[in-house]
Structure 1
């Protein structure tokens, strides 16, 4: 996927979250040598670390969320919490953006 398409999907995801009353804390947080957290949002005193996946259809997008990617996200979240000195409730979510809809999958690491 091109960077432009990825950026557009992230913008759609941010608007979607804002419509659901999430407060956007950060976008594209880069954790040294670990990876990137696409969106960090807050709702009801819970931090949501969101990975955005997009494709023309839901199945293709969700299949891009691999165990390796989840492992990198978990390490990046831990790095973020340590760096910011936060002891907060949080979850890791996926936002699936396809040509027809946007789907929020909360707490995907259970």
Structure 2
């Protein structure tokens, strides 16, 4: 399986996990001129911008470590664009990371600052 196919597969795994745990998926692979967001979901009236990361081994660091400051900033800008595009100016939101390492999915809430 190529890199894009593997990424898509693990995003599907994460979406399935989220749905099983009460999340409503709003958008997948949202793209705008400022960046991309893997999953936009809602739970408990909070819009969650979720970055999905997969690592088959720890030789390049953990999947969570791969969401560095630069990536966080890009996601926050894209999230701001999303909120503006859909007229969601007064909503609570969260920036979360979902990782898959060694075929085990982990969900990290509020891993980095908000907008």
Q: TM-score, length-normalised on structure 2?
A: 0.88
C-alpha distance in structure 2 between counterparts of 1:20 and 1:77, whole Å: 23
For 1:63-88, what per-residue CA distance to the aligned partner results, in whole angstroms no more than 9, with x for missing partners? Answer: 21111000000000000001111021
Alignment match, 1:42: 42
C-alpha distance in structure 2 between counterparts of 1:69 and 1:48, whole Å: 16
Unaligned runs of 5+ in 2: none
Q: How does 1:1-110 map to 2 (within 5 A)?
A: 2-32=3-33, 34-57=34-57, 59-86=61-88, 87-110=90-113
Structure 1: 4+ residue segments shifted above 6 A: none
RMSD after superposition: 1.4
Q: Paired residues, what number?
A: 109
Unaligned runs of 5+ in 1: none
